[in-house]
Amino acid sequence: MGLLMSQDDFARALREAGTRAGVPNDANKRLVQRWESGTTAAPRPVYARALEAVTGLPIESLGFDMTPAPQGRISSDGHGGHDLEPAPRNAAPAARATVQTAPQGGYSGVWLSRYEYYSSGREADFVGRHYVVILQHGSRLTVRSLPRTSNSQLTMDLTVDGSVVTGTWVEQTTQESYYRGARYHGAIQMLVEPTARRMGGKWVGFGKEMDVNTGPWELIFQDRSTNKATLAQYDTPPE
């Protein structure tokens, strides 16, 4: 409902996300219905990654029971094996817990997004701020703003290559904002600082006169956790 998608649309988006990530899946309307009804308590990893990519939220906050499945159980997705990634056979109990709950990549967490732009209509410089959730799968980063941090929704699809981050951004403003529902998009390239706690670079986009604009953009690390309590804490306009 939040994404304004039918169950068929949502399943199609999951398949497309899997294809883009190089990990195809067979999501369909029936599977989405089983998730929504609670018949399937937890998705397999191939679906979990696609769910995070489409919703922009960590799997732990989507209402699933992510308790590790008993060994040998048939998953309710209709496939054999485990719902979660299995731990090494000879691992100690503490090590198994670490394997199953380890963060998904070095950049996953809550970050502060901050960019600068010039408003020709108001003839002044402004700063856009959002708290965003970054989820990492391999070299790909999906970035989604928390819904109440700003009067616009921000999404970014990025690729990490060493210390270089490259990708695209989309910003959808609300009808109540100065820009009255306008949608903007463009490209971005940033460099990751050695501490891996800040990315800084430039955005490029276009204005209402179809002129190409650019400006500084940075992402500043805030919190490694992506659980519900943490997201609720940051779901407010940045100071």
Report yes or no on 2 lying in a domain: no
Which pLDDT value is given to residue 80? 36
Question: Is residue 203 located within the same domain as residue 126?
Answer: yes
Give the C-alpha separation, 108 to 193, whole Å. Answer: 16
The answer on 228 and 121 residing in a single domain is yes
CA atoms within 13 A on the CB side of 215: 16
Cα–Cα distance measured from residue 206 to residue 148, given in angstroms and rounded to the nearest whole number: 26
Residues 96 and 117 in one domain: no
Q: What is the pLDDT of residue 75?
A: 44
pLDDT reported for residue 23: 85
Same domain for 160 and 69, yes or no, is no
E-assigned strand segments in the chain: 109-119, 124-137, 140-145, 152-161, 164-173, 183-192, 198-206, 212-223
Indicate whether 168 and 220 sit together in one domain.
yes
- pLDDT for res 177: 72
CATH code of the domain covering residue 160: 2.40.160
Number of folded domains in the chain?
A: 2
**18 φ/ψ angles, rounded to the nearest 5 degrees:** -65, -40
- Which amino acid, residue 5? M
Instruction: Give the amino acid at 153.
Output: Q
Q: Are residues 129 and 226 in the same domain?
A: yes
Rounded Cα gap, residues 42 and 77, in angstroms: 8
- The CA-CA-CA angle for residues 22, 28, 31, to 5°, reads 110
Domain with 16, as residue range(s), is 7-101
Residue 239 belongs to some domain of the structure:
no
DSSP string, 143-209: EEE-TTSSSEEEEEEEEEETTEEEEEEEEEE-TTSTTTT-EEEEEEEEEE-TTSSEEEEEEEEE-TT
Q: Which residue has the tokens 């960590």?
A: 58
Give the burial class of 90: count Cβ atoms within 10 A of its Cβ; 0-12 exposed, 13-18 middle, 19 or more buried. Answer: exposed
Looking at the fold, whether 115 and 93 belong to one and the same domain comes out as no
Are 167 and 201 part of one and the same domain? yes
Residue 174 located in a structural domain: yes
Q: What is the pLDDT of residue 69?
A: 52
pTM: 0.64
Q: Looking at the structure, do residues 130 and 55 belong to the same domain, yes or no?
A: no
Q: How confident is the model at residue 2, as a pLDDT?
A: 65
Residues 211, 113 share a domain: yes
pLDDT tens, residue by residue, 81-140: 333 333 333 433 333 333 323 333 489 999 999 999 988 778 889 999 999 999 988 889
1 is a domain residue: no
Q: What pLDDT does 219 receive? A: 97
Pair 129, 91 in one domain = no
Q: Which of 77, 101, 125 is the last residue of a domain?
A: 101
CB atoms closer than 10 angstroms to residue 112: 18
Where among 63, 82, 101 does a domain terminate? 101
Which residues in the chain come in under a pLDDT of 70? 2, 66-105, 179
Residue 106's Cβ-count burial label (10 Å; 0-12, 13-18, 19+) is: exposed
Q: Residue 139 in contact with residue 107, Cβ under 8 Å?
A: no
